[in-house]
Amino acid sequence: DTAVSQTPKYLVTQMGNDKSIKCEQNLGHDTMYWYKQDSKKFLKIMFSYNNKELIINETVPNRFSPKSPDKAHLNLHINSLELGDSAVYFCASSQDPRPGEQYFGPGTRLTVT
């Protein structure tokens, strides 16, 4: 069974469109995250949710909006896509808010043309 899954794996879209990436974890974890990996492979935290509540919101454009319908899901919606949004987006989860190991999904490669 896949612990952290993301859909879609690849997403190609045009500038100005709105798109969503879905993430689900079946580990029973309380905390979920979104990370962005740029073309130089640098990874940076975007958001973190604990029990459906936002606890980390880094300096991300407000075109990005996370949504957590329940603690097993954390979706990422992106409005008005720009070329610079092209990246690989990783979802992750962990057991609780204290520092610990995180389990990552396989990533979603977003290409904006």
What residues make contact with another protein under the rule CB under 8 A?
4, 31, 33, 35, 40-45, 48, 55-56, 58, 90, 92, 94, 97-107
**Least Cβ distance, residue 67 to another protein (angstroms):** 19
The contacts of residue 40 (CB under 8 Å, 6+ apart) are none
**Least Cβ distance, residue 62 to another protein (angstroms):** 19
Residue keyed to tokens 């949504």: 67
Nearer to another protein, 69 or 98 (CB): 98
Q: Are 101 and 44 in contact (CB under 8 A)?
A: no
